[in-house]
Amino acid sequence: MTRTPFGTAPGGQGVELITLTNAHGVELRAMTYGAIIISLKVPDRTGKLGDVVLGYDSLAGYVKSSPYFGAVVGRYANRIAKGEFTLDGTAYSLAINNGPNALHGGLKGFDKVVWQAESLPSPDGTGVRFHYVSTDGEEGYPGTLDATVTYTLTDSNEVRISYEATTDKPTPVNLTQHSYFNLAGRGDVLEHILQINADRIVPVDSTLIPTGQLMPVKGTPFDFTTPHAVGERIDAADQQITFGKGYDHTFVLTRADTGLVLAAVLKDPTSGRVLEVRTTEPGVQFYTGNFLDGTLTGKGGVVYQRRTGLCLEAHHFPDSPNQPQFPNTILRPGETYRSRTVWKFGVE
Ligand code: GLA
């Protein structure tokens, strides 16, 4: 692992750039601002390395305007209805930053804070651990939340992401990694082939808040139980597609236990690159970059048009603090929040 200065955050804190490399030349660069993965270079079928995530060349781009490119999202990834929830009889209010709802941890979520980095070598590879202590009441959330996120790059071309958190008051926690993948390293992702291990999704209303039901995918554009091109049904006449402006939904992973389960397999037929996502989380948000609109210019001067990247955000269901039937997202004092996600890169 190497670390170099990478500029100064708006609050005046220095930001560092961390570089991890493995035996095959795979390289992951991340920075302490937002624990953001800035670039991830993996081989194509000819062995040529290419960057498979969207982002900016410098800190300034991320500070100015970023739709969570590569960031760790918290304390609560995805939406909480009207920014309100009640926990143990106390009502809490969060900033409204997405239509009528709260999104992705607030105005200054975990994607915009400076984390402390330490090298974390392991038998499996080279790693970095980011640490951040969120104060009681930060962004409206109760409790001091002590959070760590670890990225380990292994010699089998895996990026292992693990999260841990503890609290001194009950509080909702739902952390995720918001990288936008484009396995071709250019163009849009409509020809990527995707399979998702989910026979239900969490359907939403027009503001992308769950209705509370789970919807079977069979016979819908959401059926990725067998491989389909991302673009094949993305503009189908379907109410959920209309609400999401494409795919922007939590898929309910089919699992037998709470361990790592294969969530999704993404393939780019042109480069041959393959990404397998495994996670301990109950869901994965499949988001097709529907809000990218050509107004952001990213790495190397590339203009990010609609659907030039897609996210597979492993997390709990949106709005769980208001939906008692969903898997629990409340962390209590004495407990440790633990979550793991693995991205395995290969070729075909
Ligand atoms: C998530 C949300 C999307 C969008 C992106 C960020 O994936 O579900 O609706 O807000 O984050 O632009």
CA 311 to ligand 1 centroid distance, Å? 9
Separation CA 269–CA 330 (nearest Å) = 41
pLDDT digits (tens, 9 = 90+) for 63-89: 999 999 999 999 999 999 999 999 999
User: What is the residue with the minimal CA distance to atom 7 of ligand 1?
Assistant: 287
CA 287 to ligand 1 centroid distance, Å? 7
Q: Provide the domain count of the chain.
A: 1
What average pLDDT is seen over the chain? 98
Percentage of the chain beyond pLDDT 70 is 100
In this predicted structure, the answer to whether residue 122 has a pLDDT above a threshold of 90 is no
Q: Do the beta carbons of residue 252 and residue 282 sit within 8 Å?
A: yes
Give the pLDDT of residue 301.
96
Q: Which of 138, 139, 178, 316 is catalytic?
A: 178
The verdict on residue 229 lying in a domain is no
In this predicted structure, the answer to whether residue 205 has a pLDDT above a threshold of 90 is yes
User: What is the residue with the minimal CA distance to atom 9 of ligand 1?
Assistant: 248
User: What is the residue with the minimal CA distance to atom 6 of ligand 1?
Assistant: 67
313 is catalytic: yes
Percentage of the chain beyond pLDDT 90 is 99
Give the pLDDT of residue 45.
98
Token readout for 179 is 């990288």
| Neighbouring C-beta atoms of residue 304, cutoff 10 Å | 23
Separation CA 148–CA 130 (nearest Å) = 5
Q: For residue 137, what is the domain's CATH number?
A: 2.70.98.10
Question: Shortest CA distance to 318 belongs to which of 122, 85, 112, 3?
Answer: 85
Query: Region 341-346: what's the mean pLDDT?
Result: 98
178 is catalytic: yes
Question: Shortest CA distance to 109 belongs to which of 89, 132, 87, 81?
Answer: 132
Which protein residues are within 6 Å of ligand 1, measured from CB? Answer: 67-68, 78, 103, 208, 248, 285, 287, 291, 311, 313
Query: Region 103-132: what's the mean pLDDT?
Result: 96
Report residue 197's pLDDT band, with 50, 70 and 90 as the boundaries. very high
In this predicted structure, the answer to whether residue 190 has a pLDDT above a threshold of 90 is yes
Report residue 247's pLDDT band, with 50, 70 and 90 as the boundaries. very high
CA 313 to ligand 1 centroid distance, Å? 10
The verdict on residue 321 lying in a domain is yes
pTM beyond 0.95: yes
In this predicted structure, the answer to whether residue 121 has a pLDDT above a threshold of 90 is no
Task: With residue 194 as reference, give the H or E element that holds it.
Answer: strand 193-196
**Where in the sequence is the domain holding 171, given as residue range(s)?**
2-188+286-347
